[in-house]
A and B are shown apart, each in its own frame.
Chain A
């Protein structure tokens, strides 16, 4: 069975601070995919990034960066110089399995509040 744990329920920071959202996953699959989604107050989930289990290279996109470490089964997300517009709930998800359905398992989400 797959499992995604986002231990941080809520994080509160002041604008311009760096913040890291943790994601720890469990899977028995050798091939799997990890995702991050953002859910702003408007409600719609927005896809941010996909990472496959064979690619441990870190990725940077503007102020966003992701650190994937298979050794610790973690896929952490860092926002550098946070802004008020980053306030949202962030979900980590994992997919990869047998049977062809490949339904992603989502974590419970981390609510990030960025204060001006």
Chain B
């Protein structure tokens, strides 16, 4: 158990809908990362938050947004869902110094499997 929790574990929805995925980082970790894992694209970095502020953006669509709250939990919002958004969405957390640090390993949650029908 990594200490990172994600809810829900599974989500089935229809095209055009909006969903929210939730992540709670490990105790003491200030940084949260979101990834999308699909068969054809592999593990794709979406976005990073550090202590409530956005730190880095990856291949995140404009239909997707995220935020990190004062209690450090994070939510990933996916809207106007398309069939191609079906994937496993991971949240990871790490201890990142305020100046940023590349040596911190990330601890991953169990993921949310999103199926768009």
Contacts and interface: CB of A to CB of B under 8 A. Distances in A.
A35 B108 CA distance: 13
Contacts, number: 62
A100 B56 CA distance: 9
Which DSSP category, helix, strand, loop or mixed, fits chain A's interface? Answer: loop
A102 B105 contact: no
Contact of A104 (B88, B100, B106, B113): B106
Interface residues of B, number: 27
A103 B103 contact: no
A106 B42 contact: yes
Contact of B56 (A31, A103, A107): A103
Q: Which of A33, A35, A43, A95 has the most CB of B within 10 A?
A: A43
A24 to B, nearest CB: 16
B25 interface: no
Nearest to B58: A103
A45 B106 CA distance: 9
Contact of B110 (A44, A52, A108, A109): A44
A45 B101 CA distance: 21
Contacts of B88: 43
A64 interface: no
Contact of A32 (B56, B92, B102): B102
B110 A43 contact: yes
Given A96-B102, A104-B106, A43 B111 contact: yes
A47 B106 contact: yes
A68 to B, nearest CB: 14
Contact of B105 (A43, A50, A96, A97): A50
17 contacts: A32-B102, A43-B110, A43-B113, A44-B108, A44-B110, A45-B90, A45-B108, A50-B105, A91-B43, A97-B102, A99-B100, A100-B99, A101-B55, A103-B48, A106-B42, A106-B43, A108-B42
